[in-house]
Structure 1
């Protein structure tokens, strides 16, 4: 039984009051399938995506499903800034590419070339009064994540998971360091859970635009998943624990975190006393057989 096949039994066990609401800031579809695709496909989630680049927004609108909404807002601190449009749209940012870093990581120079600048007024996440309660935030805004977190504290109060891109080396001017992001999210009650992806990059003189040289040890970026602090679960409602459980299972395969959520819900009387045993049985059923593993 695959994760997709487990969807109905797990959702039936948890019975959340509504679909999990996922917000994707910087939803430009350039990195393959989003991590929440299976939840959308199963009808377990609804999505609100933000993408200020017109072409990327048009692609999202053309391919969207019944539970997806996309908006053109640039989310930030509410100020007026310029959106730097780069040769590769994945590099476009409210921040300016850092030329000193691009001399070192020279493979990226053609993609990071600024080919246009358009003025935009950013919107604070906290000012979006019509935005439904957020359960999870996925964010990739090329170095401008910290402003979103700082000006979205109220909207993020009910959230149970955040997947954010972070940089170990500043690739944009005035880009906040990983430590600043970590401190901000911890101050909001989140703790690191896992790395969804870790990116390395070769450095000059071995990195050349015409030939990709395999990277060795230099960390460049990562997608880090933060979750609401599960060590002190009294701060979470039953509904929050249910959404965290679904996200842990279907986005990250984090069965231990999912099991903890179910155990806590059972202890509270929000789930049957045998809920954890039923979840464990689902995992056993989903586990590939010895024959399949050897095939």
Structure 2
């Protein structure tokens, strides 16, 4: 697929704006990586851990910028720096929950505590537009969402980490996150990642890292309620189509957005058929050499 074909098809007037809260690259490539590489989005990232921030800034391209701020409720908190950077959190690790998971306990050991002023998403002058919010805040996701309602009113997609077994004291559950996002007009769309974890003391086939059935956490994607499209502007539907296509491979959702735009007269008749040809090419597996 021509990298600019979909943007031209949708007649976009600007690139998709992504905000990444907790942009630490430790968990692999973000869902917008291909979109960014194609020059179809801009990324504003926030990462309070110095080493992670340095890594992000060293490899950033012209469409990326990263700030050293902890995003939250705007109050002063303690950053609990853990032995594993991926466990560092504004919340205290919960010994009772961690007792279930032998592999996580040493990773969650607090090695330093740093007083840190958080910043509310709604107060960020650096964020002019927000189409897609990605959050991995190690337990502070609900605080980010509640302090970002004005910015999120523009957004069409949110990818957030949710916990089935909260690992931090006072951490919101998946139910809390779900209720808040539904209150703000979003519906669950897909699971970007689902993580199981081995429960102590069971060891399967001599591998202490092999899980059985216990759910630990997931990256869950929410999108603006597509059952109420009249609440979305033409621009929002176009951005949702871009994200559905590029980030989630949700070609059915992208097509639905194109259908709605065509019915409104915001796109020319026949755009659905043109998009289907694009989607068919994008969905094909790569050809082997």
The TM-score, its normalising length taken from structure 2, stands at: 0.96
Counterpart-to-counterpart distance in 1, 2:284 and 2:34: 19
Counterpart-to-counterpart distance in 2, 1:118 and 1:285: 49
Counterpart-to-counterpart distance in 1, 2:65 and 2:210: 39
User: Which residue of 263, 274, 288 maps to 2:270?
Assistant: 274
Tell me what 2:213 maps to: 217
State the 1:284 CA deviation.
Answer: 3.2
Tell me what 1:49 maps to: 45
Counterpart-to-counterpart distance in 2, 1:162 and 1:261: 17
Matches within 5 A, 1:193-208: 193-206=189-202
Structure 2: stretches of 5+ with no match in the other structure: none
State the 1:220 CA deviation.
Answer: 0.6
Instruction: Deviation per CA, 1:263-291: give whole Å up to 9, x if none.
Output: 001011111110001111223344548x9
8 A contact 2:4–2:40 mirrored in 1: no
State the 1:6 CA deviation.
Answer: 4.4
Structure 1: stretches of 5+ with no match in the other structure: none
Counterpart-to-counterpart distance in 1, 2:75 and 2:249: 38
8 A contact 1:169–1:221 mirrored in 2: yes
Q: 3-state SS of the aligned residue for 2:152?
A: coil
Runs (4+) off by over 6 Å: none
8 A contact 1:77–1:122 mirrored in 2: yes
Tell me what 1:33 maps to: 29
State the 1:243 CA deviation.
Answer: 0.7
Matches within 5 A, 1:100-249: 100-206=96-202, 211-249=207-245
Give the superposed CA RMSD.
1.8
Instruction: Deviation per CA, 1:152-209: give whole Å up to 9, x if none.
Output: 100111000000000001100111111111000000000000000000011111159x
Counterpart-to-counterpart distance in 1, 2:235 and 2:200: 50
8 A contact 2:195–2:217 mirrored in 1: yes
8 A contact 1:139–1:164 mirrored in 2: yes
Matches within 5 A, 1:36-115: 36-115=32-111
State the 1:133 CA deviation.
Answer: 1.1
The TM-score, its normalising length taken from structure 1, stands at: 0.94
**Matched residues, number:** 288
